[in-house]
Amino acid sequence: MEETTDNTGTISSQKNVAASGHNHHHRYKYISNYGVGRRFLFFASCFGFYAFVAATYAWFVFPPHIGRTDHVSSSSLGCREDNEGSWSIGVFYGDSPFSLKPIEARNVWRNESGAWPVTNPVITCASFTNSGLPSNFLADPFLYVQGDTLYLFFETKSPITMQGDIGAAKSIDKGATWEPLGIALDEAWHLSFPFVFNYNGEIYMMPESNEIGQLNLYRADNFPLSWKLEKVILKKPLVDSTIVHHEGIYWLIGSDHTGFGAKKNGQLEIWYSSSPLGTWKPHKKNPIYNGKRSIGARNGGRAFLYDGSLYRVGQDCGENYGKRIRVFKIKVLSKEEYREVEVPFSLEASRKGKNSWNGVRQHHFDVKQLSSGEFIGLVDGDRVTSGDLFHRVILGYASLAAAISVVILLGFLLGVVNCIVPSTWCMNYYAGKRTDALLNLETAGLFSEKLRRIGSRLNRVPPFLRGFVKPNSSMGKFTLGVIVILGLLLTCVGVRYIYGGSGAVEPYPFKGHLSQFTLATMTYDARLWNLKMYVKRYSRCPSVKEIVVIWNKGPPPDLSELDSAVPVRIRVQKQNSLNNRFEIDPLIKTRAVLELDDDIMMPCDDIEKGFRVWREHPERLVGFYPRFVDQTMTYSAEKFARSHKGYNMILTGAAFMDVRFAFDMYQSDKAKLGRWIRKGCGVCETVFGYN
């Protein structure tokens, strides 16, 4: 009987223990679920708030993107950001290869594309994409001249295959406008540097194809878009190779970066033959160069003959790939010797930096003499460095990862997150039924014990941080605020790097052309400080050709006081009058003039968009400050115009206009009364009657 009682008591006791353990298990699950829900709510709230801030920041800071193409949406293929750059091609003219000026210096006008004047670059990814051939960039231009017709061959980066193809374009007006013809050569591998030449009445192309380890020569089957492989010149992966005929011998100049000890972009080799189709033999001094990337060893275009001397074009890759063009005069070229010296060479450089099409680098130059005796040069340029996209993406995601870490730190300090690793990973004893996985982990011995110790030490960090910061104290709350702001800043920085682009302001083409305008403003001596800011800011806008300062009163400043990326002309007026704004100025070389008051500051991108709209409708005023005038003829602000969902007036203090039409109209007899009224008016606006 006692044994039964004992047994019953024992059994009863075990049941109580089991029941107690069962209740504890349910309580543990409740607390655990509550903790998980609390953590989820915290992180969801934080990330939702940060996402809202990021979206708001992007909406305010990033301008609506029209795209680098005319009528192609930004979501379509073509003109996309590319890690290799955003290369485009410009044209230059001069009396010699060493005195070339950009096309805008010639003041060439094209009415059909609203280009008054035509401005570099003359052929871009937009030109090719709009013709139905998507392209991310165009580079490595080579000219082929047939009479008065110019053919241009170049690398076009396909956004579909992400490799280079050889594109072709044609010009019948000496390079001012180019008609995209199509893809001249498309292989299964990357193609670039399409060196085109004539030999024995046949037209050949020798593009770079180092990806397949050989140098191919193609012959035009139906010029310019049909080519057939003629032969493999060399079984070597040469890059940027060119052929020149000198003293009865054909010389092949290129670089092989795959050889043992070869310095990339710092190596140069020469081969020679009696014919471009013959057998090529290596130069005795090969490699001619094998040194620093900055020495200009890698070719940057076709070798050319001028004034009896032979010149080689190289590219300086010291700071970045394709940083600048260097030209070398070949002094000795024989089977045993090669010697060259660098000669001064520079193309007109822009001070607009990234806002200029070639403001960061230019790495290819091809020059030809036209039938008129004039020289024409084609140059590719870029506004970003190689690898810029990858660099920005890495920095962007690193910033976002840091922002996530800040949120986790907040969770530690607020007590929402109490451990870094799950506490069960740090326990030697696991309640309840053990799984085979846990048993295997425990039998791992020393290794599992070290893991548990590391986990336990990591889990001491949150309590330590809370004790150190003391979130409930005044200093602790201040620290929490600083951490929140830091997270917001990191989020905005990450969004800026990933979605904000390169930071360059690009012009908007119209019918494949870019153009320029003159910026005009009125001011006087008391506002010199404002003029300095004005000039520094707006002279960096891509399409600004010149700034005309209409000086109404006081001694004018010296031009050296103004930090400008474009020419500044100060027109000193005899009389202080608002009429001076529309004084006929024969020195203005552009058709478009932007009259912009010196106290107005707006983004260059807004100005570029306004200029693009004006080019499409040059007969109109295109401005930024609309007004609505009703029968009461009382002055009302922009809000009044918006309430009427329209406007019938544009303030000329910030408006694009046709310099010939607007200025002539203002000075005509029809506007005589208006000029008289405005002469005695200190603050008033000019009204043009545009129909």
Q: Give the span between the Cα atoms of 152 and 542, in whole angstroms.
A: 25
Q: Give the span between the Cα atoms of 135 and 85, in whole angstroms.
A: 12
More confident residue, 410 or 175: 175
**Any idea which residue has 């040059």 for tokens?**
618
The crossing angle, in degrees rounded to 10, of helices 474-499 and 2-61 is 60
The most distant pair of C-alpha atoms in the chain lies apart, rounded to whole Å, by: 133
- At residue 650 the predicted structure's pLDDT band, cuts being 50, 70 and 90, is confident
More confident residue, 226 or 667: 226
Mean pLDDT of the chain: 87
Q: Give the span between the Cα atoms of 284 and 335, in whole angstroms.
A: 6
pLDDT at 73: 46
Radius of gyration of the chain (CA): 35
pLDDT at 446: 60
pLDDT tens for 214-257 read 999 999 999 999 999 999 999 999 999 999 999 999 999 999 99
By mean pLDDT, which of 385-389, 433-437, 668-672 is the weakest? 433-437
Helix (H) or strand (E) holding 24: helix 2-61
* Strands ordered across the beta sheet of 202-208: 192-199, 202-208, 215-222, 226-234
Q: Give the span between the Cα atoms of 212 and 217, in whole angstroms.
A: 14
- At residue 434 the predicted structure's pLDDT band, cuts being 50, 70 and 90, is low
Cα dist from 260 to 37, 55, 236, 510, whole Å: 61, 51, 13, 50
By mean pLDDT, which of 318-332, 358-372, 534-548, 625-639 is the weakest? 625-639
Cα dist from 403 to 54, 60, 458, 492, whole Å: 12, 21, 21, 9
One-character DSSP codes across 613-631 = HHHH-TTS-EES-EE---T
Q: Give the span between the Cα atoms of 202 and 213, in whole angstroms.
A: 26
- At residue 12 the predicted structure's pLDDT band, cuts being 50, 70 and 90, is very low
pLDDT at 8: 40
pLDDT at 463: 76
pLDDT at 644: 77
> Is the separation of the CB atoms in 673 and 609 below 8 Å?
no
Q: Span 84-96, mean pLDDT?
A: 97
Beta bridge partners of 182: 168
16 pLDDT more than 80: no
For residue 557, cis peptide bond before it (omega within 30 degrees of 0) = no
Residue 223: what are its φ and ψ, rounded to 5°? -60, 140
CATH of domain 517-679: 3.90.550.10
Q: Give the span between the Cα atoms of 624 and 112, in whole angstroms.
A: 26
CA-closest candidate to residue 141, choices 197, 89, 191 = 89
Q: Give the span between the Cα atoms of 236 and 584, in whole angstroms.
A: 64
- At residue 4 the predicted structure's pLDDT band, cuts being 50, 70 and 90, is very low
Residue 556: what are its φ and ψ, rounded to 5°? -75, 155
Reduced DSSP (H G I as helix, E B as strand, rest coil) percent helix, strand, coil of the chain, to 5: 35, 25, 40
> 244-346 architecture in CATH?
Beta Barrel (2.40)
Query: Residue ranges of the alpha helices (H) in 539-637?
Result: 604-616
Neighbours of 203 (CB within 10 A): 18
More confident residue, 544 or 24: 544
3-state secondary structure 193-229: EEEEEEECCEEEEEEECHHHCCEEEEEEEECCCEEEE
Burial environment of residue 6 by CB neighbours within 10 A (0 to 12, 13 to 18, 19 or more): exposed
Query: What global pTM score does this model have?
Result: 0.85
Q: Give the span between the Cα atoms of 127 and 92, in whole angstroms.
A: 18
Q: Give the span between the Cα atoms of 127 and 178, in whole angstroms.
A: 9
11 pLDDT more than 70: no
pLDDT tens for 328-380 read 999 999 999 999 999 999 998 889 999 999 999 999 999 999 999 999 999 99
Q: Where are the domains of the chain?
A: 2-61+391-420+459-499, 77-237+351-384, 244-346, 517-679
- The percent of residues above 70 in pLDDT, for the chain, comes to 84
Q: Span 589-603, mean pLDDT?
A: 95
- At residue 444 the predicted structure's pLDDT band, cuts being 50, 70 and 90, is low
Q: Give the span between the Cα atoms of 16 and 35, in whole angstroms.
A: 28
> Is the separation of the CB atoms in 555 and 525 below 8 Å?
yes
Q: Span 114-135, mean pLDDT?
A: 94
Q: Give the span between the Cα atoms of 37 and 16, in whole angstroms.
A: 31
Q: Give the span between the Cα atoms of 607 and 122, in whole angstroms.
A: 21
Helix (H) or strand (E) holding 273: strand 267-273
Q: Span 675-691, mean pLDDT?
A: 58
Chain-centroid distance, C-alpha 20: 68
Residue 10: what are its φ and ψ, rounded to 5°? -65, -45
Tokens of 334: 């024989």
Polymer length in residues for the chain: 691
The crossing angle, in degrees rounded to 10, of helices 461-469 and 474-499 is 120
Cα dist from 92 to 86, 197, 379, 569, whole Å: 20, 21, 8, 25
CB neighbour list of residue 618: distance below 8 Å, 6 or more residues apart: 114, 116, 591, 592, 658
pLDDT at 640: 78
Cα dist from 335 to 251, 272, 285, 296, 311, whole Å: 10, 8, 9, 22, 18
63 pLDDT more than 90: no
601 pLDDT more than 70: yes
633 pLDDT more than 90: no
What type of residue is 240? D
pLDDT tens for 95-121 read 999 999 999 999 999 999 999 999 999
Tokens of 436: 């085979």
* Strands ordered across the beta sheet of 517-523: 568-572, 544-551, 517-523, 592-596, 654-658, 622-623
Q: Give the span between the Cα atoms of 575 and 586, in whole angstroms.
A: 19
